[in-house]
Amino acid sequence: MSNSTKGEGYRIPAESIQSELVVRRSRFLSTIQMASTVADARAAIAEARKALPDASHHVYAFKVGFGNSVNEGMSDDGEPSGTAGPPTLAVLRGSGIGDITIVTARYFGGVKLGAGGLVRAYTLSAQEALRQLKTELKLEKKTVGLEMSYSQYNVVKCLISAHGGTVDDEVFDAQILIVATFAVSNLDRFAAELQERTAGAVQPVDLS
């Protein structure tokens, strides 16, 4: 999956899911949750540990943000160093998905897998969870204020709708004030058409 450019957003989990993989009698249960902050990721990890308290290990990786603005974390949680957390994070890095946390709980089945076997098992478990995951597009958004005369109101409302904006608030006084939110990728086109349709009388003011 190709990376999104600035302003075009990125894919995030649309749901929380859990998948299961059995490798030589060990069970690997991978839980994916959306996490838009590091605090959310830590909470998701704690929740997954609490849900499966009897697992031998709770290996995790998270990736908050996307592109050049990413916070990452991982843990082998007692597995041999580098055999669990790093391969799980590598799968997340290659997924094209941001704001994501995955916790893989392992129930030891009595057969040692060895370092290479663990890397493969945790990689496959993360890949299987991602295969089942539904995603949605998260768009970078900006809120603007628009002040206008009553005669310009209908034109501005139509332009907001045409460019995918949402009206958050309206204040009717001597002038009308509209507070609206747009995807950043749509804002320049909206501002250009607004300039043309109102002869520059209405200008968006950044409120973000």
Per-residue pLDDT of the chain (208 residues; tens, 9 = 90+): 333 444 467 899 999 999 999 999 989 999 999 998 999 999 999 999 999 999 999 999 999 987 777 899 999 999 999 999 999 999 999 998 999 999 999 999 888 899 999 999 999 999 999 999 999 888 778 899 999 999 999 999 999 999 999 999 999 999 999 999 998 888 999 999 999 999 999 999 988 7
pLDDT of residue 6: 45
pLDDT of residue 8: 64
Non-local CB neighbours of 118 within 8 Å, separated by 6+ positions: 79, 80, 83, 84
Taking residue 47's Cβ as centre, other Cβ atoms within 10 Å add up to 14
Judge residue 30's burial from the number of C-beta atoms within 10 Å of its C-beta, 0-12 exposed, 13-18 middle, 19 or more buried: buried
DSSP secondary structure code for residue 98 in this structure: -
Three-state DSSP state, 57:
strand
pLDDT of residue 110: 84
DSSP secondary structure code for residue 10 in this structure: E
Residues 142 and 6 sit within 8 Å (Cβ to Cβ): no
Strand partners, 64: 71
Q: Taking the model in full, what pTM does it have?
A: 0.68
